[in-house]
Amino acid sequence: MDITRDEIKKEFQLERMILFSDAVFAIVITLMAIEIKVPESEARLTIEKLPGILLGLLPVVFAYMVSFVFIGSIWYQHLKIFSLLKDYDKGLVFRNLLLLFFIGLFPFSASIITRAKGEMMAFFIYMGIILLCIMAQYFLYHYIVVKRPSIRLNTDMSHHLAELRKRKISLIGFSAATILITITYLLIPDPKLKSLSSLWMVFFPIVYKLIIKKKK
């Protein structure tokens, strides 16, 4: 009876952690959507003004779309990770809160990158937060799959170990691309050409696919 009661308690506490995490993801997406708004200087909308206003909102909408896809992907992976759990500990709670902390910075970074009008510093802040989210989720996944097997279900981990290796490659590749962008940005003397340093990010998915294909 006591064992059953303990199991129910643990299941309830894990459910609370998942619900709290889901709430953070939902609030972050909502806050980003709130940023898509008509400028306050426009007192009255007319058919003539509307196309120009919508055109001006395109950078905000694009930032929202990119952020939504990334956060949605993080949430989906978070859902799969927590499906492995049967218990929790302080290490798990800390790593989960760390991930949610970085996710919570997305509305801030998205608003900066849309209002900075092409400033590379805003791009670095945005990419930095993405990198921190990827890193935090990797350490959370590694903690559950490798470091603390006692808190997860006793199931076949071969798929998750392979997925963990892919994430490690992705984390290293994204970090390398960020470092190359930073170095290139500092080395380019012409301020007008500094934005070209971000082109390093184009090579990241290509190299990642080649490495994963070679590993297979």
Percent of the chain scoring above 70 in pLDDT: 86
Where are the chain's structural domains? 2-155
Specify whether the CB–CB gap between 85 and 7 falls below 8 A: no
Specify whether the CB–CB gap between 41 and 117 falls below 8 A: no
Taking the model in full, what pTM does it have? Answer: 0.85
pLDDT band at residue 1 under the 50/70/90 scheme: very low
* Cα(148)–Cα(27) distance, integer angstroms: 30
Per-residue pLDDT of 190-210, as tens digits, reads: 887 877 888 888 777 776 676
